[in-house]
Structure 1
Amino acid sequence: MTASDLFVSADDAEWVNPEPGVTRRIMTYLPEMMMVEVVFEKGAIGSKHSHPHIQASYVADGSFEVTIDGRTETLTKGGSFIVPPDFVHGVKALEAGRLIDVFNPHRAEFLK
């Protein structure tokens, strides 16, 4: 890795549509960590799922109903949550919004 690999322009990231009303792009990653921007239309759902990664998420815009391990909270801009490995979690956008997700280790399946 060189110093030029440490800075990433958002313009270089490809958007994908993992679910209806949801788009995401990888902002940057190393094997140990990945940062992803996820944009939701109002009412869009990030379906409940689990994975072996630790996930920390920051609400950059909007408001979300977040469910982790059966507990549901409403978070607004500036809020955050953390998901331990293998906990079932999901979100619903109560208004148009954006999450910044960080995963440890990186989500290899996002790179395909």
Structure 2
Amino acid sequence: METQLFARADEGEWTDLGQGNRRRVILHTDELMMVEFTFEKGGIGAPHSHPHVQASYVAEGKFEVTVGGHSTVLSAGDSFIAPSGVVHGVVALAAGRLIDSFTPHRADFLK
């Protein structure tokens, strides 16, 4: 498989996560994956953990973010990191969009 080097905003298949939330894989290699998530106001990214390191950028909106039991409110332009194995989650205080990067890639997000 040839590595995809570029992606456009209108490309990629969205996965409905329920309750107005959805995601699409933007790009990935074995080592790194970029994923876009959208949330309606009140949408929840339930607390969870995974072995991947996750770096997230708030592209739009406002979120209450909890990482390892520490919570804060982040808005467009802000970021957070969820280290490997650390419980984290979000609540959309306004409709918004997160751009998440995972290392290594999330095989469970691929079909």
Q: Does 1:37 align with 2:36?
A: yes
Moved over 3 A (4+): none
Partner of 2:19 in structure 1? 20
TM-score relative to the length of structure 1: 0.93
Residues 2 and 107 of structure 1: is their aligned pair in 2 closer, same or farther, counting only changes over 3 Å?
Answer: closer
Q: Does 1:58 align with 2:57?
A: yes
* 1:21 Cα offset (Å): 1.8
Q: Does 1:88 align with 2:83?
A: no
Paired with 1:69 and 1:19, the residues of 2 have a C-alpha distance of 25
Structure 1 residues without counterparts, runs of 5 or longer = none
Cα deviation 1:25-76 (Å, max 9, x = unaligned): 0000000000001000000000000000000000000000000111110000
Structure 2 residues without counterparts, runs of 5 or longer = none
* 1:20 Cα offset (Å): 1.7
Whether the 8 Å CA contact 1:35–1:100 is kept in 2: the answer is yes
Paired with 2:87 and 2:17, the residues of 1 have a C-alpha distance of 18
Judging by fraction of residues, say which structure has more helix.
1
Aligned-residue identity in percent:
58
* 1:101 Cα offset (Å): 0.2
Whether the 8 Å CA contact 1:19–1:46 is kept in 2: the answer is no
